[in-house]
Amino acid sequence: MLRCGFCDKKDISGQRGLRNHWNKCGARLARITSAATQAVATEAARVESEATAAAQEILDKNIPEVPRAPSPLPPGAGGRPHRRPRLPARYCDDAPEPPTPILRPLEPEPDLPTSNATQQEIPTQTWVKTEPNAHGFYKVFPNRPTHDPEDSISLDDLCRSSQLLTGTPKVAAANPPFFSFLNSTVARLMTWFHLGSNLKSIADLDVILQDDFDRMHPEGFSAARENKRLDDASNILPGQPPSGWTVGSVKIKLPAPKICKPEADAAEFEVAGILYRPLLNVMTEAFQSPAFMQYHTTPFASRRDPNHDPSKPDTTLEDVNFKLDESGLPPLAAGHEAICGEIYTSPEMLKAHHALHRWDKPHIETIIAAYMFWSDSTHLANFGNASLWPLYTFFGNLSKYIRAKPMANAGFHQAYFPSVCLC
């Protein structure tokens, strides 16, 4: 005979009788209920304690600590105080300083009436020079720029680490969820048929209860046609990418082995299936993006005065009787240095900008878009030989320090080249 450990009932025959008694034992059920209630209360107290601790930690972080005064160093053996060690000057690096902003023109004053006899034509100065910064760097523009990205640069931007940048995801034009079927009802029906198990269950029929299941959609439904549509979906581009892609072809001359013939007489081979974007579309996408605020639309000459002393307020007057160079800029002053580090500060872009402004209209700003192309084969998988050969476009109007950051999204897809085997 067995005895219940909860209510002390005796004379229970066998294990089966004990289990039957436990199912009806009020003392056992009361103890289980009490234990469950206590466990719930303990878990609630733990959650509340963690939330209180987290809130207190946030408050402690937001409250700035009061700086304590440094304790004086104890005197040495001779009674003299110890000298506080200092970092050598060669280890003290100067913080980078943003370039000086461009002085905006003042409101023009009304012209005073003058006689025609004394009025002389004064040549207008088009180039603009900024003041040197603490390190003697200054910029010379061929004309007053309408947009200078370096005007808004702060010390935080110059010292910011690349790990702190966050890229803005681009919202691409996605296909509807039921691609490549005509509607969601047909897509759910074909999914139910293909992806379900061989033995259909009652729960599988609940597909007709979905919100996007319309009884009018299956009108004229054909399973064979939908299966063919599904098979052909692999040959269809996944939607139209932004800025429009075009499929084209080119003809290349084939070399004749061991035969010397003019190139004009060589056989031609047409390479089809080249996916590309027009250059104007890529430029439009780049110039309409938020990153355009960092593009340099007006090139300039970056120069440095090694003898510049920011502590001296006096400014040395330069000779104004000089001839502008082929870029429309004043010549480099004696002792000054020319700094070349970007495409928009190169002499070639300055020359092209100066030549382009001969046909510039007063109400339209004319700028140069410095295209830069890169191309290399890309392996797509760790296994197999699947690869692509893309062509990327960058713009030299953007600083190389920004283009080098992967999270800046400074590159644009220009084309994709197919692989050709001429064996």
Domain count, the chain: 3
Task: Let me know whether 276 and 393 are in one domain.
Answer: yes
Cα–Cα dist 178/181, whole Å: 6
Nearest to 342 by CA among 291, 294, 387, 377: 294
DSSP, collapsed to helix, strand or coil, labels residue 412 as strand
123-132, 212-221, 387-396: least confident range: 212-221
Contact between 402 and 410 under an 8 Å Cβ cutoff? The reply is yes
If you compute the radius of gyration of the chain from its CA atoms, what whole number of angstroms results? 39
* 69 domain-assigned: no
Task: Let me know whether 280 and 134 are in one domain.
Answer: yes
Q: Kindly state the percentage of the chain with pLDDT values over 70.
A: 67
* 352 domain-assigned: yes
Structure confidence at residue 235 as a pLDDT band (50, 70, 90): low
How far is CA 407 from its chain centroid?
Answer: 4
Task: Let me know whether 201 and 333 are in one domain.
Answer: no
Structure confidence at residue 202 as a pLDDT band (50, 70, 90): low
Q: What is the pLDDT of residue 117?
A: 46
Asked if the peptide bond before residue 180 counts as cis, ω within 30 degrees of 0, the response is: yes
94-103, 107-116, 157-166, 183-192: least confident range: 107-116
* pTM of this structure: 0.57
Could you tell me which residue, 364 or 370, shows the higher pLDDT?
370
Q: What is the pLDDT of residue 159?
A: 64
* 334 domain-assigned: yes
356's enclosing H/E stretch is: helix 347-356
Task: Let me know whether 203 and 309 are in one domain.
Answer: no
Task: Let me know whether 310 and 413 are in one domain.
Answer: yes
Asked if the peptide bond before residue 34 counts as cis, ω within 30 degrees of 0, the response is: no
Q: What is the pLDDT of residue 28?
A: 81
Q: What is the mean pLDDT of residues 388-410?
A: 91
* 71 domain-assigned: no
Contact between 226 and 190 under an 8 Å Cβ cutoff? The reply is yes
Task: Let me know whether 378 and 290 are in one domain.
Answer: yes
Structure confidence at residue 222 as a pLDDT band (50, 70, 90): confident
Residue-wise pLDDT tens digits, 299-351: 999 999 998 888 775 556 565 667 888 888 999 988 999 998 999 999 999 99
Task: Let me know whether 209 and 293 are in one domain.
Answer: no
* 108 domain-assigned: no
Domain that holds residue 207: 184-235
80-84, 101-105, 143-147, 164-168: least confident range: 164-168
* 405 domain-assigned: yes
Q: What is the mean pLDDT of residues 20-26?
A: 81
* 361 domain-assigned: yes
**Both tokens of residue 290?**
């938020």
Across the beta sheet with 301-304, the strand order is 128-129, 137-141, 301-304, 337-339
Task: Let me know whether 299 and 397 are in one domain.
Answer: yes
Could you tell me which residue, 160 or 246, shows the higher pLDDT?
246
Q: What is the pLDDT of residue 377?
A: 85
123-132, 164-173, 265-274: least confident range: 164-173
The domain boundary residue, chosen from 30, 46, 62: 46
Q: What is the pLDDT of residue 243?
A: 55
Task: Let me know whether 213 and 328 are in one domain.
Answer: no
Could you tell me which residue, 319 or 366, shows the higher pLDDT?
366
Q: What is the mean pLDDT of residues 136-147?
A: 89
Structure confidence at residue 37 as a pLDDT band (50, 70, 90): confident
Task: Let me know whether 376 and 280 are in one domain.
Answer: yes
Residue-wise pLDDT tens digits, 156-188: 666 655 555 554 555 555 667 666 677 777 777
Task: Let me know whether 295 and 392 are in one domain.
Answer: yes
In one letter, which amino acid is 126?
T
* 329 domain-assigned: yes
Average per-residue pLDDT for the chain: 77
Task: Let me know whether 333 and 420 are in one domain.
Answer: yes
Cα–Cα dist 350/352, whole Å: 5
